[in-house]
Amino acid sequence: MRQALSISALAKSRGVTSKTLRYWERIGLLPKANRTHTGYRIFVPEVVRYIDFILKAKTVGLTLSEMRRVIEVAHDGANPCPEMMQWVDDKDKALGRQIHSLRALQRRLRRFRDLCSTNDVLTCAREKELCCLIEDLPNPRLMKGNADEKTVLACASAVGRTRS
């Protein structure tokens, strides 16, 4: 049987901090460590499996509460994989929506930059103005929904006409 590990040795061997291990233990991701007579944490060698699980689960976007749920279900003797796969599917769909939104933002930014680059941006400053290109945009709170690409482009075109 391998020897028990101090928190510092365990942290160093897994590439995490002692503070992280204490936190994971406190929230139930790691089994409670034994204590020496002086109060130092001593972990059983099997805790390495939990740490490796946590580190791998982080790479696929599981939250700490989801990881704790997987551990609890497994400890109860059930298979946590179906529930975990549902989380993965949900995260994949959310990520797809986020990517779509980010691509739309990127298109708006590129078109706005292209339109603004045709203006003489060095001469557009008014007294105490932050940036005319931004200040002349419509206020999104006054618009229905978010400023869409057409609105930004129309505004950028208007900025170009008023600055010439």
What is the CATH classification number for the domain harbouring 12? 1.10.1660.10
| Domain closes at, from 78, 98, 122 | 78
Contacts of 125 (CB under 8 A, 6+ apart): 131, 132
22 and 70 part of one domain: yes
**90 lies in some domain:** no
129 and 73 part of one domain: no
**126 lies in some domain:** yes
| Residue, of 150 and 61, whose pLDDT is higher | 61
Q: Give pTM, 2 decimals.
A: 0.67
10 and 62 part of one domain: yes
Q: How would residue 122 be classed by pLDDT, with cut points 50, 70 and 90?
A: low
Domain count, the chain: 2
| Mean pLDDT (the chain, rounded) | 83
What are the backbone dihedrals phi and psi of residue 5, each rounded to the nearest 5 degrees, phi first?
-115, 135
Gap between the Cα atoms of 133 and 124, Å rounded: 8
User: Which alpha helices (DSSP H) does the chain contain, by range?
Assistant: 7-14, 18-26, 47-59, 64-75, 81-117, 132-135, 149-163
**55 lies in some domain:** yes
Parent domain of 134: 107-163
In tens, the pLDDT along 137-159 reads 777 777 665 555 555 555 555 55
Nearest-Å Rg of the Cα atoms of the chain is 27
Residue 145 region, left (φ>0) first, then alpha (ψ -120 to 50), else beta?
A: left
Q: What is residue 66's predicted lDDT score, i.e. its pLDDT? A: 95
pLDDT at 90 over 50: yes
Q: Token pair of 146, please?
A: 């978010």
**65 lies in some domain:** yes
- What H or E segment, with its residue span, contains residue 6? strand 5-6
74 and 111 part of one domain: no
**135 lies in some domain:** yes
Q: How would residue 164 be classed by pLDDT, with cut points 50, 70 and 90?
A: very low
**12 lies in some domain:** yes
Q: Which residue has the tokens 């208007």?
A: 158
